[in-house]
Amino acid sequence: MFWQSVDAFLTRIRPHRQGLSLAIDGVLVALGWQFTYLFRLGFERWLSARPSYDHGVLVGVAACYLVVFRLLDVPKGMWRFSGFGEIKRLLLGCLIAGSVSAVVVLMAQLREVPRAVLMLHPVMVLFGVCGVRILYRTVYEHMRMQVSGRSTETRRALVLGAGDAARRLLAGIQHEGWVVVGLLDDDPAKHDARVAGVPVLGPMALLPEQAQTQGATHVIVAVPSAPMAVRRRIIDLAAGTGLTVLTVPGARELQDGQRVPLRDIQPEDLLGRDPVTLDEGGIAEVLNDKVVLVTGAGGSIGSELCRQIARYGPRHIVLFELSEYALYAIEQELSEKWPHVPLVRLIGDVKDPDRLREVFARWRPQIVFHAAAYKHVPLMEEENALAALRNNTIGTHCAARAAAEHGVGRFVLVSTDKAVNPTNVMGATKRAAELAISALATQFPATSFMAVRFGNVLGSSGSVIPKFKEQIAKGGPVTVTHPDVIRYFMTISEAARLVLQAAAIGRSGQVLVLDMGEAVKIVDMARDLIRLAGHTEEEIGIEFTGLRPGEKLYEELLADSDSTIPTPVAGLRVARMEVDADLPGRIAAWLRENENPPDRSDHAVKQRLRVLVPEFTSS
């Protein structure tokens, strides 16, 4: 308790460190002057033999030392880190100040000041200022050992939140070199209480004041159960301190008895909305002990689907992926985290119907999640339109038809909000894919075909977040297409769970959409990432480059003509698309025309897409 009180006292005076350092050094200069006289004249004469103007000389000498120390930034030195570099700075300061003082005294012809005092005084001062710093460092390291079990400097944290997550957090990090100096919580009942021996200092509004008073180096947000809007407000408050901000995972990721880990603030923490709660029991019933095939298994969405599926105990997960490296990476991860889930690792192209029929005939999957797609809007808009059509539309039809022919129970297409009133090739090919599986739904009633639409996925390949982070790391500028562009966002985990939920509750021919809350301005997301990286907009600028070909200012989740109905899962709705009776015939003819078209130009591809998707408009 004594050493904790000492630590608290040192923390309180830390904001005044430079002034205190100068004051102590001034006292040591005066004491050095007295000891020098004592050493030179002895006890009998060290007071009586001084000249009458000695006090004035001492004030001038002390002022000289303090000015020189100030010019050499001696007060900025942190005593708990004092080492050889600090001693060299003090040695230089004493030599300069001692020499200047001696020269001034001699030039003033103050002959009664002993020359030996002028020569020895800098040595005495050097011993004093070095000694007090070494003593402070010794005491400080002993105090650190008593308080935290480590003699080295620790990270000092203020924790926002004083609930169960904070209690479990304290149980772990205080043995890992952290010193938690206090907690802040808006619940008045918790004020002046203690959590694991750490005081609750008051409401969160006191954070700026307490961060300075307590000498905090980090702020930890420990409110995993709070609504997302509240978490966003707390993160904004923490970011305003200029300190490093860490957080604990969300309530869903934490398990009872589990040690609470720390992580950096992620973009998903800034969404400001609560994730949709899904029907875990229904998903488990659909996936448990089933053979599940995932196309594009190594991609951003496909790999997260595999991770989520593995949690429900499938009989096999068939990983179907064109990229050798992506397949290897997801296979290694799944094998390490879920070693008891059997994996089938297959290289294959969804545009190869023979390979698909071979795979379906051998492994007999009961559920297929189709995540293989090209999704980068500008990349598909120019020079790659035919590749997008073949992969996103024809590839979907090949995979869906092979699934139906081999008795697959459920086929789930991962679609996009860009399929609604598309203005780009990627969105148009995805809308065409939705129509293709709608047509198959009328031809193969034994298989349930469904699609899932969602907005932009945070952190997925090709998304803005990795690009922004890379630009910030390089010093900027961060490029945003337009100051008014808005997007709907969700996390990769949430997107994957939505797809799994579609498999559980969806019916053939349906498109499921998520209530994604408020759209987010891309420029606001960029500003948040700059701030969380510890920079300002003055340091990392934002540059507007203009909308790219095919890009909208805003995205839609439902077309105007779509009708929606609620589902048992809050936040999910179903859009049943209008399907013409002649759609299967039109789709079949359209697919034959586009398998090997005579005109492969982007313009021709867009023209053919408009035949099937008349609402498609492009620049």
Got the DSSP string for 536-575? -TTTS-EEE--PPTT--SS--SS-TT-EEEE-SSTTEEEE
**Residue carrying structure tokens 């959409």:** 513
272-282: pLDDT as tens digits? 566 666 777 88
Determine, yes or no, domain membership for 246.
yes
Per-residue confidence (pLDDT) for residue 314, from 0 to 100: 95
DSSP secondary structure code for residue 619 in this structure? -
287 pLDDT tier (thresholds 50, 70, 90)? very high
Q: In the chain, how many domains are there?
A: 3
Per-residue model confidence as pLDDT tens digits over 16-43:
778 888 899 989 999 988 888 888 777 7
Give the DSSP H or E segment for 512: strand 510-514
Residue 245 pairs in a beta bridge with 219
Q: Which residue has the tokens 């599986």?
A: 437
Average pLDDT, integer, range 416-423: 86
The yes-or-no verdict on residue 377 having pLDDT over 90 is: no
Query: Rounded to 10 degrees, what is the CA torsion of 182, 185, 187, 193?
Result: -10
Domain co-membership, 416 together with 497: yes
Q: Do 234 and 362 fall into the same domain?
A: no
Residues 127 and 260 placed together within one structural domain of the fold: no
Range 443-455 average pLDDT: 89
- We report the CATH number of the domain holding residue 232 as 3.40.50.720
CA distances to 30, 229, 256 from 39, in Å: 14, 70, 69
Q: Of residues 277 and 258, which shows the higher confidence score?
A: 277
The confidence band for 45, taking pLDDT boundaries of 50, 70 and 90, is: confident
Residue 198's pLDDT is what?
83
Whether residues 593 and 450 share a domain: the answer is yes
Q: Looking at the DSSP assignment, which residues form a beta bridge with residue 198? A: 195
| pLDDT at res. 560 | 46
Structural domain including 171 reads: 155-265
Question: For residue 275, what pLDDT is reported?
Answer: 61
Give yes or no: residues 229 and 112 share one domain: no
510 inside domain: yes
Identified catalytic residue from 190, 290, 418, 606: 418
**Looking at residues 500-526, what average pLDDT do you find?**
80
Q: How confident is the prediction for the chain on average, in pLDDT?
A: 83
Please tell me whether residues 235 and 287 are part of one structural domain. no
Residue 352 lies in a domain: yes
- Identify whether residues 77 and 169 lie together within a single domain: no
Q: What is the mean pLDDT of residues 501-510?
A: 84
| Greater pLDDT, 211 or 445 | 445
Asked if residue 107 is part of any domain, the answer here is: yes
Residue 495 has pLDDT above 60, yes or no: yes
Q: Which of 482, 433, 429, 425 is nearest to 618 (CA)?
A: 425
| CA-wise closest residue to 185 among 210, 168, 216, 212 | 210
In 3-state terms, what secondary structure has residue 587?
Answer: helix
Categorize the per-residue pLDDT at 317 as very low, low, confident or very high, splitting at 50, 70 and 90: very high
Residue 126 and residue 200 in one domain: no
Residue 602 confidence (pLDDT): 87
> Which of the listed residues 265, 297, 315 is the one where a domain comes to its end?
265
Q: Are both 135 and 163 inside the same structural domain?
A: no
pLDDT band at 596 (very low <50, low <70, confident <90, very high): confident
Is the separation of the CB atoms in 487 and 477 below 8 Å? no
174 pLDDT above the threshold of 70: no
Residues in the chain, overall count: 619
- Give yes or no: 418 in active site: yes
Question: Which of 239, 265, 291 is where one domain is finished?
Answer: 265
pLDDT tens digits, one per residue of 50-106 = 788 888 888 998 999 999 988 888 887 767 667 777 888 889 999 999 899 989 988
Give the residue among 547, 415, 564, 421 at the shortest CA–CA distance from 486.
Answer: 547
Lowest mean pLDDT: which of 196-200, 258-262, 313-317, 572-576? 258-262
Is the pLDDT at 572 greater than 60? The verdict is yes
> Do 362 and 495 share a domain, yes or no?
yes
Q: Three-state SS across 99-138? A: HHHHHHHHHCCCCCCCHHHHHHHHHHHHHHHHHHHHHHHH
Per-residue pLDDT at 141: 73
Task: Specify whether 187 is located in the same domain as 211.
Answer: yes
Reduced to 3 states (helix: H, G, I; strand: E, B; else coil), residue 364 is: coil
* Residue whose pair of structure tokens reads 């099937």 in the numeric block: 612
Residues 215 and 317 in one domain: no
Is 545 within a domain? no
Neighbour order of strands in the sheet with 244-247? 194-195, 198-202, 178-184, 155-160, 218-221, 244-247, 263-264
Pair type for strands 263-264 and 178-184: unpaired
Q: Which residue has the higher pLDDT, 519 or 502?
A: 502
Looking at 121, 148, 175, which one is the last position of a domain?
148
Q: Any idea what DSSP says for residue 77?
A: S
In a domain, 618, yes or no: no
| Mean of pLDDT values over 283-292 | 92
- Least confident range of 65-74, 166-175, 316-325, 340-349: 166-175
Task: Give 357's pLDDT tier (boundaries 50, 70, 90).
Answer: very high
Residue 170 lies in a domain: yes
Q: If residue 486 lies in a helix (H) or strand (E), which one and from where to where?
A: strand 486-487
Please report the pLDDT score of residue 413 as a whole number. 95
Residue 218 located in a structural domain: yes
Q: Angle at the Cα of 597 (from 591 to 603), degrees rounded to 5?
A: 100
